[in-house]
Every structure is written in C-alpha cells, then in structure tokens.
Chains A and B, each alone.
Chain A
Amino acid sequence: MDAVRPDPARSAAAGGYNFAYLDEATKRMIRRALLKALAIPGHQVPFGAREMPLPYGWGTGGIQVTASVIGPTDVLKVIDQGADDTTNAVSIRRFFARVAGVATTESTRAATIIQTRHRIPETPLSEGQILVFQVPMPEPLFKLEPRVRESTRLHALADYGLMQVKLYEDIVRYGEVATSYNHPVMVAGRYLMSPSPIPAFDNPKLHMNPAILLFGAGREKRIYAVPPYTPVRSLDFEDHPFRPIRAPHACALCGSTESYLDEVIVDDRGGRMHVCSDTDYCRERREGRR
C-alpha cells in the first residue's frame, strides 16, 4: 500500500469527507485504471469501484471518474438527457458542489469537466476538456453473450462476428439496423466499444474528438476511454451505412434543425412539441450568441 498523506484540500465544505468524497488511495487506483484505459483505447479496464452515496445505475461510475480527475480549480457541468435541469443531473451537480466545493456551470464552453448521461453536447468540445460518460453496461456484446468470461475472450481475439450477425439479422428482419441508441463502435480499429446509451445521432461526435472521453461503469466495475483524436467508427455494412437519426422537426424554442430533439406530449389528443435535448445549446441560440 502506498502511504497516503493527509490532503490539504480536505475542506469544511466537504462536511468531513475528503475532497471530492473519495479517499486519495481510491482516486489513485482509479487514475491508474484511467491511464491504462487511455493507453488501450476502447478496452475495458476492471477497477475496484466503491459504494457511493448514490445508487448503482444512477451514475456511480461516472461520479467516481469525475471525483478522481477533478481539482479545486475545475469547472463542472453535469447533464442528463442533454439537460442541466434534469433531476439526476441536479443531484450529481449538488453532490460535487457539496463534497468538492468546485465551481459549476451550465455552459458547455465554460466547463473543464462535463459529466453526462445519454448525450454528447451539441457544442463541439475542445482540447483540454474532459467528457465523463455514465455507463450502465460497458460490455457491448452482453445481449449476445452475457457470460463475462466468454465476452472477454471474444475481445481478446477481436472476434466481433456476433455483433455483425446481429446487425445483419436486423436488416433481414426490419430492412434496417434496429439499434437507435447504444450503437456499438470500433475504437482505433481494434476494440468494439459501447458508446453508452447515447442516441446513434451522437455517435459521429466520438470520432476524432479533441476532448478526452472517459467512461465509468460503477456497478460493473469497468473503466474505458477514448483519447483525443482517436478514430471511432460506428459498426455498419458497406451497403447499409450507419445512419444517425433525429426527429424530422425544428426545435420549438430555438428553431434548430440540426440538434437532437426531445418529444414532449402536450395533450392526450396526439399533440406533440419538439425541443432541443441540449438545454445549454438551445439557450445559447435563443440568446443569439450563434
């Protein structure tokens, strides 16, 4: 065991807990896993995930990754479904404000670390930013091969035929690939990776992204990563190329025809409204900064 010096950042704001909740030895363990994950893009690195004061499946992996990379000068943004005001995003943001006392923001541009569930922001990320994904199931093959020992072997052999066959069967049955979110990707031509349940619309943003993309799965105890400027290809066929989809409407608030939209039910007579899922992007457009 490494000796752990008392952390000078241990603050009253954290209410008696270490800075960013996790103890320093745990953070070091997670950082090692992160470095390994960055060195082998798309490969799932096991790590000793801890019990967190939020339930498994609610972002414990992402929270542990964020807690391990965040420093007192960082500016944190947390989104869920693209929005800063969704309940779980509010809860996680409050958690870090409470245990790390860091500055938080709703602006994608102003943030140094963005923790996300199910979306990649519309505003392009830049070098130096870190995007932390909350991952429910890190194993892209789990629906086809639930046994972890077996899927590990398939990754070792880069044997991804199962997934290609699944996509092929979709095309035979439905005429197109039926995966609308969590569409699997090949990272740097070697590892098949779950992009986490982001809509297929967001998949192209993974490719050659200048930001560091970190993925944390707490319950399954895996970390993986896509380093900046890494090629990421959504799995497809030459004659059935990958096709990201969005609702064919404009945002009712900002008019965007490019952003990913949420469908809102306005009555029980079939009335619908579409609005940007990314609340910061929508606000910026309405305030005329684009």
Chain B
Amino acid sequence: MYVAVKGGERAIAHAHAWLAEIRRGDPAAPEVTLAQLMEQLGLAVDRVMAEGACADRELAALALKQARGDTTEAAFLLRAYRNTLPRFGAAEPVDTAAMRIERRISATFKDLPGGQVLGPTFDYTHRLLDFSLADPGPPPPPAPEAEPEGDATPRVTDVLAEEGLMAREPPGNEEPPDLTREGLRLPAGRALRLQALARGDEGFLVALGYSTQRGYGNAHPFVGEIRVGEVAVEYIPPELGFAIDIGDLLLTECQMVNQFAGSASAPPQFTRGYGLVPGRNERKAMAMALVDRALRAEELGEEKTAPAQDAEFVLYHCDNVESTGFVEHLKLPHYVDFQSELEKLRSLRARWGQEGQ
C-alpha cells in the first residue's frame, strides 16, 4: 500500500465531481433558481446574508444553492467573497425611527403611536403541517391591505427615555471600529461587540440568550419593540461633504427593556439590550439583544457569573465561520502528530510494565 500525491489529487477531483452531481440531484427534478430561493426560502437567504456579513440577497441565494442548503457553509462562501470587496467608508447611522414598517410589535404597551403591526409572521399560526403545500398550486389570494395610519412610529425606548425611565445611550460621532479589518481586541467596546453579535451564529446566540432567561445571568427582559422594514442608507462622500442616499436596506431591530440599574448619582432606570440584523430574522435580533444586555454586566456594575456575561467567551465563540472551521479541521490529516503520540504511548506503557514488575 502506498499514498501518492497524485492519488490525492485525483480523489479530490472525483469527490468534487460527485459533489456537483449530488448538488444538482436527480435531473428529472427541475433545478432551483436564485429567484426561487430568494422568494420562497427567503428566511434561509436572510440568515446567510446576516452571518455572511454581506447585505446582498442574490449573492446569499447563490451561496445557499452552492452550499446545498447548508447555511453555515453558505455564510462562509459569502464571507470569503465579501473579503475581496474594497471598503470605501462608513455609512451614516441608519434611522430606524424612520423605517418603512413591515412589522412592528411591542410587548410592553398594548397600544402606542404607529400601532401594533403583525406583518407576515409565523406567530399565532398553529404548527400543523399544511399538506396542501406538498404539491404546487395556484398562488394564494392577495392579503387584505389597509392604509397606513400615517403618524410617525416612534421607538418605544425613545418614548421611555423621554420620561427618563430608560437610560440614554451616548451618541457617538467617531467612525465605528471594523471587526473585519482590525480583528477582535479585548476589552471590546459595545460597538465592536454588537458588530460581532450581528454576524454571530444564530443558534449560539439563541442558546446563550436562553441561558440568561433560565438564571445563568441576571436577565429580566421585556421586548420593548421589534420592528422590521426598510431604512435608507446614507453616505457622505469626502468629495461632496454632504449625505447622499445610496440605497435601502431591510433590517430587523429589537430593543429589549431590562431591569433597573441605579446608583448614588443616578436614579433607577431601565437599561437596554440591542439587536440589529440585516434581513428578516427576529429570532436572531432578539437573542442578540439578550446577549448584548448580558455583556453589559460589567459596565452596569453587575456581578459576572454566567457564560453569557463573559465577553471573551461570547465574542471568541459566536462566529460560526471561525468555530466551524476549527471544529472541522479535525478532519485534516494529523498523521505526524499522531505518530509521535503513538510512540510516546508505547514508551509509557513499556515503562509502566517494567516498573510494575
């Protein structure tokens, strides 16, 4: 038996040919198009877009198709592409108060200006398989439409802050740090933490957020508000010196209202956990808001006892491209190291045998 480099090359080529074949599947079934993925598996596309940290649904759909529906692999593909794009500056902060609302709910107030807008949600559906979807059919009739109420839709947290009940966040005018250029440095400021969480793995963040609800971390959260909709993205080109609109972005924002902090110098106030995710993904936005609040433990003078409150633990492990890469690298050949382990173990066993006599 021998292992030749040539054999490895051929094996790889054959494996990839097989992958291409199995990706396409039975040619008797029609091939999916990017439009179908974007329209009919839109939430998977949005997840790839968020974790791939690249706001382009068409590229995310392509990545999802290429990755055979594996969202982590697809996010990886998108990240690798994104890395090749030039960076020309930072946009102005988006104004989510001016969002064109598709969904807006508050769990803290029964009614409020702008109203509660359910939007296209799974909430309150009964999770019974709908067998009528098994075969293609005519499109459903259009949903009833109403005129928008017209008034503004102020953010709940701003309404609370107006009364002094919610701690205000200091406005920052400096250019935000860029995780993709400078990497993670600890201690990480909140802007950098939020950046890491926004591209972090949904499952990991949901589990961490859940742990804070079950007592691992001191959480008392209310959903002040979740809103989904399009916002305008503005950028100030240095050669112009004023903001221009460079496009619209569909976002999901979650603001969690959490229990009081207070001190000798400040009265008790609600504190905020913040989640913002590109596309439609409120599970991720909610989890992010829970984890953001948990990570503020130190700043708010709370005892740090739980994993979700440990910034180093959370930020180093939330990125699924990093974590999946290292977990899966264990598949790579480790013959050399393992050979030395084998020799060492044999030597230890021999010594044990001699001394045991």
Contact = CB atoms under 8 A, between A and B. Distances in A.
Contact of B154 (A142, A144, A145, A268): A268
A90 interface: yes
B94 interface: no
A74 interface: no
A55 B127 contact: yes
Interface string A256-280: 0000001111111010000100000
Contact of B215 (A86, A142, A267): A142
Contacts, number: 60
Contacts of B112: 264-265
Contact of A146 (B123, B214, B260, B262): B214
A270 B162 contact: yes
B218 A143 contact: yes
A90 B214 contact: no
A98 B126 contact: yes
Main secondary structure of the interface of B (DSSP, over half): loop
Contacts of B113: 265-268
Contact of B214 (A52, A98, A142): A142
B109 A88 contact: no
Contacts of B111: 264-265
Interface string B216-253: 10100000000000000000000000000000000000
B126 A268 contact: no
A178 B260 contact: yes
Nearest to A144: B215
A54 B126 CA distance: 6
A288 interface: no
A255 B159 CA distance: 26
A264 B110 contact: yes
Nearest to A98: B126
A174 B263 CA distance: 10
A52 B214 CA distance: 21
Given A142-B214, A264-B109, A268-B152, A53 B163 contact: no
B124 interface: yes
Nearest to B306: A146
Contacts of A265: 109, 111-113, 156, 159
A86 to B, nearest CB: 8
Contact of B110 (A52, A81, A88): A81
A126 interface: no
A90 B215 contact: no
Nearest to B268: A174
Interface string B286-303: 000000000000000000
A146 B126 contact: no
A91 interface: yes
Contacts of A53: 126-128
Nearest to B152: A268
Report the contact-size class of chain B (Cβ under 8 Å from the partner): 20 to 34
Contacts of B80: none
Given A263-B109, A264-B111, A268-B152, A146 B162 contact: no
A95 interface: yes
Contacts of B156: 265
Contacts of A67: none
Interface string A165-180: 0000000001000100
A95 B125 CA distance: 10
A180 to B, nearest CB: 9
A137 interface: yes
B162 A268 contact: yes
A164 interface: no
Contacts of A146: 214-216
Interface in B307-321: none
B118 interface: yes
Nearest to A269: B162
Contacts of B123: 87
B124 A90 contact: yes
Given A87-B123, A95-B126, A146-B215, A270 B109 contact: no
Contacts of A54: 126-127
Interface in A122-155: 137, 142-146
B270 to A, nearest CB: 12
A210 B61 CA distance: 59
Contact of A145 (B124, B159, B215, B259): B215
B218 to A, nearest CB: 7
Interface string B190-234: 000000000000000000000001111010000000000000000
Given A87-B124, A91-B124, A270-B163, 12 more contacts: A95-B126, A137-B213, A142-B214, A143-B215, A144-B215, A174-B262, A174-B268, A262-B110, A263-B109, A264-B111, A268-B162, A275-B110
Interface of B: 109-113, 118, 123-124, 126-128, 152, 154, 156, 158-159, 162-163, 213-216, 218, 259-260, 262, 268
19 contacts: A52-B127, A54-B126, A55-B127, A86-B110, A90-B124, A91-B124, A91-B126, A94-B126, A137-B213, A137-B214, A143-B215, A174-B262, A178-B259, A262-B109, A262-B110, A264-B109, A264-B112, A265-B113, A268-B162
Across chains A and B, which 5 residue pairs bring their CB atoms closest together, nearest first?
Answer: A146-B215, A91-B124, A53-B127, A142-B215, A265-B112
